[in-house]
Structure 1
Amino acid sequence: MPQYNKLIIATGDREIQFYELSSLEPYCQLSALETVPLTLDYCSTGTDECMILYGDAQGCVTIILMTSVWDMLRLWKKLPMVENVPSIGIDSAILSPNVTYIRWKVHGDWVTQVKYCESMRAIVSTSNHEPSALVIGCTLPTTNIEQTLREVREFCREGKTRKVQAGLGNPQLRAAGDQTVFPVHKGVKTFDLCKKHNLLITGGMDRLIRMWNPYVPGKPIGFLIGHCAPIFYLSISSEGSRIFSVSMDNIIKIWDIPDQSCLFTAHPKASLIRGEVSACLYSPSIKGLYVATDSMALLAVRTRTQAQGDLIVSHKEPVLCCGYSEAFRQVVSCSEASVVKVWDFDTGSQVFEFGGAHGVSAITCLTFDPKGRRLVTGGRDGCLKVWNFNNGQCLKIFRKEDGSAEVCDCTYLKASRSTYVISVGWNRRIDIYFDSPEDPHHIQSPQSSWQDDLNSGHKEDILCVAQCPPSLLASGSYDGEIIVWNLVSGHLQCRFLTPLPTDCTHSEDVDRSASGLVFLRTRALNIDFISAACLVSSGAQGSVNFWNVRNGGKFLASFKASRLKYQITKLAVTKEENFLYAADRAGFIYVYDIKMYALRPEQEAPRMANYWRAHISTVTSLQVVEEDCVLLTSSIDCTVRLWTFHGEFIGTFGQAENWSIHTPSSWKHPTIPYEILIDPLSMPAHSILEEGTSASDIINLEQAEEAREDANNAKSDSSSKLRFPAPHISDKDIEEEIRSLRYSTKQGKRLRHEIFKKANKPPSHGGPKAYHTLKCFDIDDTSTACKKPDLSLVATDPFLSGFAAEGSTESQ
């Protein structure tokens, strides 16, 4: 249940349990089901509405429809505990008007798979029972007047109790018109359905993969033959027109849909798959197949690199972090596939690359030591590694002994003559590692956690961390909580909770995670700014919040930084802290003048100095290189780019042409990346699409402007000796146009070609229209006969004749 951050598990005790997805802690459970769920599925059917369905050993498909899901789950959370989990029986749950319980008798044997197909608004279920091997049926029964009247009579005769027992008693049978039955030899164990290809595939004990038209149950449209054991799992990849199949002997095959042929076969010994297969899942996002046996295996699909045309990428995978080393004037970027690339900052060319930095785990964050000579990377394996990034040598490993939790952010801390590495992540603790070149141990554990961190620390995953030497450290978590720590004593100095927007109605649906933090160090260390904001954090719905961290902390100001209300992912400030750079999930970068902002509680937003779109997806890194007045960005769109402070595009690291950072003529400016140019979000919006402007207002405004121009033209014509406007545009016209655009209150209203309206406007003579003075001429009737072509040159082919004639002319 991604909308509600819940995980659903069906148990052998006839229970459906709900867990918190972030912490995997039990939330509540639905107990006393009539049968044991063998296969489970979930689908969101609307705003705060969902469907839970499962199949059982009796061949029945049970459907639980829920509305006002947030309120229902919170209500169930407060019920009495059963084995330390709030529990409610199914007989009590269906008494609520927000819960609808339906149980269909569909198959003659137990249900092997069930799935709700949203495109068809139907439920597909399978069984090993041949006559009812696969059934596509309705969720709710169609209206039957006779049946409805019969139920009303029974309800009036036997009362409300009889109505409830009917829902939990014998299952219902669908009418013949409410379902489509596919009979299959030896039944069906697994299936998949693709709306794009209008294709249904089934597999079972007979080792054949059948391809069906989902609307024609009579006969398959094709067979895929090649497995030597019963089919266990099937999945259709609509992007590449591929079918993935797994059999009980752990053989994996990839099939081509148009050709109906096998493209690839993976044997279990080559793939290191041992044991009996218990579950499989194909992930389109990473193009990989998960196989669960005695261990979990991920088989990634590697394809040949295809020509990308005008698209330029820095990595083949999403870039999760990047940084700039001032000592070497190099940029280091890390990707989802644990690949580290080193780039020349001055030219954009690649210097070095090494892979497998954290095994198969993604690299999520990086930082440099205070001298900028060593690289520290953090990964999803829970480790921190120190590198010599010029030769790929791992110098040191930092990790905890009690398991691995993803590292989300890290930073270097220099205290006196000692250096430390601070990391935060999913373990919800501030981990501090002592970094000393003289320490002979290759693998090191963190120091003991602060007592305040253990007792009053974060309750959710920590996403980011920022420091302000010599004594301040701030950390932000998934639930929007921000804690400021004293680095010297380890005590909690103050804590905040990200405020909700004033126009927010459903607080549960708002993402208030603090994914970006930055200190305004000049204000934090200057006694003259004791009451000013010195900490900036990202907030909900694209907002940015300003905090004062002294005297217990105080919220001072907030404004919407993202014009489209996308979550702000990264923040950065210039050295003088006059300008704030904010990047959002849509790839936009916004520049705000904050020199005098939040010195006291503010209501108005600061002035937006500039904004542009740097990427087509989430920005994962944003760093200001003050020495060269440029901005370094990376994104999950696989690119690392360089921009000037004013938004001029310098280039993408990895492009064919090198740039010179001090030669503007070598930059890509004024062009922009091609994928940004064609992306729909980059298109300018017309004022008629914006709120507060109607179509009639636009039409009336245009008509008023045209009438005013006509009046001005008539006035000038009456006093001028010229009957036609000047054939050229004067310098004065251009200056006036530039001045009007500069001081226009509504940018984008006037187009650049408007200065040519006067020159292109037809003359007004004050007399009859031009077409009234046109002369009429008689049309002569000419002969339709045409001259016969000369075919004497090349046989009788006029095309060859003409071609030969051209050739002879060229030769001459």
Structure 2
Amino acid sequence: MSLASVGELLRTWKKMPKVENMPSIAIHNAMASPNVKYIRWKVHGDWVTQLNYYDSMKIIISSSNHEPTALVIGKEQNSWHGGCAMGTTNIKQKMETIRNVREHVRSKKCQAAHALPQRRADCDQTVFCVYKGVKAFSFCKRKNLLLTGGKDRIIRVWSPYLPGKPTGMLRSHTAPVIYIHIAEENRVLSMSSDNTVKIWDLETHSCCFTASSKASGIKGELTACLYLPGPRALCVATDTVAFLHLKLRPVPESHLELSHQEPVVCCGYNPTFRHVVSCSEASMVKVWDCETGRQLSEFVGAHGHAGITCLTFDSSGRRLITGGRDGCLKIWSYNNGYCVHTLQHEEEKSEICDCTYMEVNQNKCIIAVGWDRRINVYFDVPRDFHHFWKPQPCWQDDLNQGHKEDILCVAQCPPFLLATSSYDGEIIVWNVISGHMYCKLNTPGSSYGPDHGEGPDLSVSCLAFLKTRAVKLDSVAASLIANGPGGSVNFWRLFSGASLGANFTPSTGKAQVSCIAVTAGDELAYLADQQGFVHVYDVQKYGLWGSELQAPKKVTFWRAHVSTVTALELIEEESILLSSSLDRTVRLWSKDGAHIGTFGQKSLWDIFTPVSWSHPRVPFESLTDPQSMPAHLVLDIDAPDGHTAERQEQERATITEEETRPSNLQSPEDSIVEAEAKVDREQWSAFSHGRSVWENMPEPGWPRIYQTLRCHEVACVSAPGEKPDVSAIASDLFHVNVLTRDREAALPERSFLPTAVSPPEL
């Protein structure tokens, strides 16, 4: 439709009757105006799903769900009657065409609007036939590439001049593709109807990044998408509008030791073979020797293009069980990477979030939870040689009173207790033997929710039983630990009226607790958060006799990683701690926080020989990360949240001064130095207002307080380029030294920086 005299035309249309409070005019009525040129032509055999006009090439590209005409590239014609946007540069011919169209419109009027549109000649268009049609496409003139996506979940790469066969296919989406955009740096952004966003590399045709709807927070039915090149953000419209900013990960520095090239999502320790197994977002599994840190084996594509989310071992330790975003559990002989069994539903392929291996009445089973909101139990039958296993029927209580939101975590307490937690903060404790619900806990609300009035994030993503209390069925003691909103940790009583026994927040920065590990005797609890810190608390008597109003005693804390800790496991027999993080590292620590090593580093270690452990005892990136820096008055100004959180942690400690000095220092200057050191400590105490270094510093021999130097102006400075006085050469130097020491002893005050002294006169 071409409009002339737009201002006058719109003023006329504004007076038309309103439909849904907006002036509206039908096309056949608009055609009667001499200022409107209207044409249409037949292109597709079904609904048009997308339409773009490219002015630089004077072409129109449209797509449809109709397979034979899934995508059509139409060339510009020199005539309006031919069915395209603009006319020829020949003004006389153009005016003649317009005059003919006007006469035709006036004669036909409304009848012309209902006439059948004409089809274009084959030479004027290029037709692409695509299986199940095309819902979205993207064209890049600079790269001369055309990408299409549709119901078959495959993104096809085409040359616009070769419609017969695509030059490449991108496979990873699990739902129809409804948006594609070719961005800079050979990247392609795509989105599917399940609100999953993917980023592709055009050179390798591989998927670089996947963001699920849970990770991006996009909810509701997708209605529109638009990539904004300026802020490099993807604008997604559903029930609300979301902006997903594209941030490229920096190239890792050469001195950093990495265990994986992708974020590590889980890791575990196998006590049978003394192996550590870690899994990354790229569906890669690596096996390490725990005693030395040497890599033993690896295999890729464990769950195809889907990422791994969790892992566990069977009771014998000979098999590895992994869960993935493809909704499958897989049992591996992980030494050679052979998949022994695949466990999944027949139809449902909901993401698995967590799994555990449990023995109940001499029956061995694998329990998996995830987005299907059900507890799936698979019996481990060694005599079953079928490759695919199906879950057992769901418990009746699970169907009637189970979780209403996605289940994020599962924890067991032999012989019969099982706990699960969900996205809405609900925790349910089950009796595995009977399949009945034992009790239900609801996480209390918090004021630490996100902004914009959406309410707090109540999701509970990690659980841990205090097993010495749970097996006694003690009604008073808190028997279950769970994370909560705003970085809090909740201690729950499970028996004789389930209730909240205690609540505290480990990090003053309110970083969400991401992992919980408890020692075998329930003496210590290790809490890791999304900032990479590990906090150790003494919980042996905490919540043992009722509710607690204060936090338990903090034993120590340290910065283990610079990103979210995804797994934390205690290896009791060796008194070491295993951790993994999204910063692509897997590390070993002593129980007090000494860094043993990072899996993948060049130098190996021996866990039984502390001398071979990593040096420095804090990883380099943890030392240099801004959130690890100690608090200082200068840093208080415009400090980010991470600095504030760390500073508040340090303010909890108290300054410890060492007043005693060795008795063997008998020099006449000792009294002066000792007095000045005491003054310095007093000035530092007054300056810091209670600040101190970390009270539980893992490195022995580090100073307990900061040392300071008082700076004085130099009394006299030699002129630049002044020749030195060499008159003292060949003199009696002993006599000169005696005179100099006598002169210095007569000085009333001694500074830390030496002042310039004139040459002695002989």
Shift of 1:313: 1.3
Number of the residue aligned with 1:361: 306
Aligned residue among 598, 604, 607 for 1:658: 604
SS of the equivalent of 2:400 reads helix
Aligned with 1:508: secondary structure? coil
Amino acid at match of 1:473: L
Query: Secondary structure, in 3 states, of the residue corresponding to 1:246?
Result: strand
Partner of 2:261: 316
Which residue number in structure 2 is paired with residue 180 of structure 1?
Answer: none
Distance 1:523 1:661, change over 3 A: same
Which residue pairs with 1:233 in the alignment?
Answer: 138
1:500·1:540 contact (CA, 8 Å) conserved in 2? yes
Taking the aligned partners of 1:780 and 1:422, their CA distance within structure 2 comes to 84
* Displacement of 1:676: 2.4
Instruction: Select the residue among 497, 514, 532 that pairs with 2:442.
Output: 497
Q: 1:280 aligns with which of 180, 194, 203?
A: 180
| Of 560, 568, 579, the match for 1:633 | 579
Query: Do 2:465 and 2:480's aligned partners in 1 also have CA atoms closer than 8 Å?
Result: yes
Match for residue 574 of structure 1? 519
**Aligned residue runs from structure 1 range 295-694, under 5 A:** 299-300=200-201, 308-501=253-446, 508-526=454-472, 529-599=474-544, 600-686=546-632
The amino acid across from 1:461 in the alignment is D
Q: Residue 632 of structure 1: CA displacement?
A: 0.6
Checking the alignment, whether the CA contact within 8 Å between 1:246 and 1:252 is kept in structure 2 is yes
Bigger mean CA offset, 663-672 vs 414-423: 663-672
Instruction: For residues 272-298 of structure 1, give each alpha carbon's deviation from its aligned partner in whole angstroms, at most 9, with x where no partner exists.
Output: 789x996414699996654889xx998
Pair 1:471–1:309, CA change in 2 (3 A): same
Structure 2 Cα separation of the partners of residues 344 and 542 of structure 1: 34
- The CA distance in 2 between the partners of 1:504 and 1:297, in whole Å, is 28
Matched residues in 2 for 1:588 and 1:128: separation? 50
Q: Which amino acid aligns with 1:381?
A: D
Q: Against the structure 1 CA distance between its residues 339 and 525, is the aligned structure 2 distance closer, same or farther, given a 3 Å change threshold? A: same
Residue 628 of structure 1 and its aligned partner are, at CA, apart by 0.9
Cα distance in 1 for residues equivalent to 2:721 and 2:383: 103
Matching residue's letter, 2:169: S
* Distance in 2 (alpha carbons) for counterparts of 1:286 and 1:371: 47
In structure 2, distance between residues paired with 1:333 and 1:243: 39
Three-state SS of the structure 2 residue aligned to 1:647 is coil
Q: Structure 2: which 5+ runs fail to align?
A: 1-8, 11-18, 23-35, 40-49, 63-72, 77-125, 129-135, 150-154, 160-164, 207-249, 640-665, 696-701, 724-762
Question: Matches of 1:573 and 1:90 in 2, distance apart?
Answer: 62
Paired residues, what number? Answer: 523
Letter aligned with residue 342 of structure 1: V
CA distance in 2, matches of 1:586, 1:439: 45
The match for 2:58 is 186
Contact 2:693 2:705 in 1 (8 A): no
Change (3 A) 1:128 1:579: closer
Partner SS for 2:399? helix
1:749 CA drift (Å): 10
User: Are the structure 2 counterparts of residues 727 and 286 from structure 1 closer, same or farther at C-alpha, using a change threshold of 3 Å?
Assistant: farther
The verdict on how the C-alpha distance between 1:481 and 1:281 changes in structure 2, with shifts beyond 3 A counting, is: farther
Identical columns (%): 42
SS in structure 1 opposite 2:301? coil
Indicate if the aligned counterparts of 1:370 and 1:412 stay in contact, CA closer than 8 A: yes
Asked if structure 2 preserves the Cα contact closer than 8 Å seen for 1:358 and 1:381, the reply is yes
- Change in CA separation of 1:308 and 1:427 when aligned onto 2, cut-off 3 Å: same
1:268 equivalent among 152, 166, 176? 166
* CA offsets 1:413-465 (integer angstroms, 9 cap, x no match): 11222201000000000111100111222211111111010001000000000
Alignment-mate amino acid for residue 268 of structure 1:
P
Unaligned 5+ segments in structure 1 are: 1-57, 60-88, 93-106, 111-125, 134-183, 191-203, 208-227, 237-241, 255-266, 694-719, 763-768, 782-812
User: Secondary structure of the equivalent of 1:441?
Assistant: coil
- C-alpha distance 672-433 of structure 1, shift in aligned 2 (>3 A): same
Q: What's the secondary structure of 1:449's corresponding residue?
A: coil
Instruction: Give the residue type in structure 2 aligned to 1:409.
Output: D
CA distance in 2, matches of 1:735, 1:547: 49
Tell me how far apart the structure 2 counterparts of residues 408 and 677 of structure 1 sit (CA, whole Å).
Answer: 32
Matched to 1:633, the amino acid is S
2:103 aligns with none
Over 3 Å counting, the alpha-carbon distance change for 1:648 and 1:359 in structure 2 is same
Q: Per the alignment, in what secondary structure is the counterpart of residue 486 of structure 2?
A: helix
C-alpha displacement at 1:725, in angstroms?
6.6
Within 1, Cα distance between the matches of 2:604 and 2:376?
41
How has the CA–CA distance of structure 1 residues 556 and 108 changed in structure 2, closer, same or farther, with 3 Å as cutoff?
farther
Give the Cα separation in 1 of the matches to 2:509 and 2:185.
25
- Write the distance in 1 (CA, Å) between the matches of 2:315 and 2:512: 31
> Partners in 1 of 2:177 and 2:475 — Cα distance?
63
What do residues 674-712 of structure 1 show as CA deviations (whole Å, max 9, x unaligned)?
A: 332332222223357669x9xxxxxxxxxxxxxxxxxxx
Q: Deviations over 1:293-320 (max 9, x none)?
A: 9xx9985467799774112211121111
Gap change, CA 1:545 and 1:387, over 3 Å in 2: same
SS at match of 1:454: helix
Distance change in 2, residues 1:272/1:752 (3 Å): closer
SS at match of 1:657: coil
Residues 405/620 of structure 1: CA separation in 2 closer, same or farther (3 Å cut):
same
TM superposition shift of 1:726: 6.1
Q: Report the alpha carbon displacement of residue 577 of structure 1 after superposing the two structures with TM.
A: 1.0
Whether the 8 Å contact between 1:547 and 1:556 is mirrored in structure 2 is yes
Tell me how far apart the structure 2 counterparts of residues 585 and 432 of structure 1 sit (CA, whole Å): 31
SS at match of 1:676: helix
Contact 1:407 1:424 in 2 (8 A): yes
Partner of 2:240: none
Aligned partners of 2:719, 2:499: CA distance in 1, in Å?
Answer: 87
Residue 454 of structure 2 aligns to a residue whose secondary structure is helix
Shift of 1:385: 1.1
Query: 1:210 corresponds to which residue?
Result: none
Q: Distance in 2 between matches of 1:233 and 1:361?
A: 25
- Native 8 Å contact 1:334 1:341 kept in 2: yes
After TM superposition, the structure 1 = structure 2 runs for residues 210-249 of structure 1, keeping only pairs within 5 Å, are 232-233=137-138, 246=146
In structure 2, give the amino acid aligned to 1:186.
K
Q: Tell me how large the CA RMSD over aligned residues is.
A: 5.0
TM-score, L = length of structure 2: 0.59
Tell me the distance in 2 between the aligned counterparts of 1:775 and 1:374.
76
1:187–1:326 distance in 2 versus 1, CA, 3 Å? same
> Within 5 A, what are the aligned runs for 1:94-243?
186=58, 232-233=137-138
Check whether the contact 2:578–2:588 (CA below 8 A) recurs between aligned residues.
Answer: yes
Asked which structure has the greater CA Rg, the reply is 2
Q: 1:698-750 CA deviation, whole Å, 9 max, x = no partner?
A: xxxxxxxxxxxxxxxxxxxxxx997x77687799989999x999x99543499
Q: Distance in 2 between matches of 1:752 and 1:205?
A: 77
